[in-house]
Amino acid sequence: MRSRRSRPLRRAAAEATLLFVWLTSLLPLRACRVVGRGLGLVAYWFVPRVRKVGLENVDRAYGDSLTAREKRSIARHAAMNIGIVGAEFSHGPRLPTERGRTWFDVEGIEHLDPAKGCLFVSGHMGNWEWMFGMLACVGIHVAGVVRPLDVQRLDEYVDRTRRAAGSETIGRDNAGPEIIRRIRGGEAVGLLIDQSPMQNGVPVTFFGRAC
């Protein structure tokens, strides 16, 4: 259970986030990417946890196959990518526009049948926030399973922005029956699997470690 003292901090962080996405919505997409890349670098160098977790994960994945310098480069660019995702987020509703369609390409769409239900499985790679919106632009409407955010005002903004880009959302809590119902009904559901399940998690060994 979260402590009460953390609530004001969460609210302050939510308000700062809303201000940030409002500011980035005023900037051209190219400028947003520059800002996001810079913020990612700042986080990497000045937020110890960002650098520590990133390097630990890269080390687990690559072991001794990469040099320390190569590992630092991967962790640094991962932080930069997260910054870019955040800076691009407010532009998601523009994906269905003529200008927005020039921002991406979708390959392999011929392998999908819009009339059949399916499950898309991915991780938090690239710009995961745009994935379902981009698919909606080419005729594949996906309901994404998401974790509701702790601050209601921020959660409402994020959900509204995702839906404006053409995707639906399914709350993660007790989502199983809804996922099955939609797939059986011929709909597509998207799931980002690199998350920690709070309930009913199955212990597995991943990169040689129990998780």
Beta strand 168-171 with 142-146 is parallel
Given a cut of 90, is residue 93 above it in pLDDT?
A: yes
199 band by pLDDT with thresholds 50, 70 and 90: low
Average pLDDT, the chain: 91
Q: Supply the pLDDT for residue 109.
A: 86
Q: Supply the pLDDT for residue 205.
A: 86
Q: Supply the pLDDT for residue 197.
A: 67
Q: Supply the pLDDT for residue 1.
A: 41
User: Which residues, 6+ apart, have CB-to-CB distance to 130 below 8 Å?
Assistant: 88, 92, 95, 104, 165
Question: Which sign does the torsion angle of CA 110, 111, 117, 122 carry?
Answer: negative
Residue 201: Cβ within 10 Å count: 9
The mean pLDDT of 59-87, rounded to a whole number, is: 96
Write out pLDDT tens, residues 27-54. Answer: 999 999 999 999 999 999 999 999 999 9
Given a cut of 80, is residue 200 above it in pLDDT?
A: no
Q: Supply the pLDDT for residue 201.
A: 74
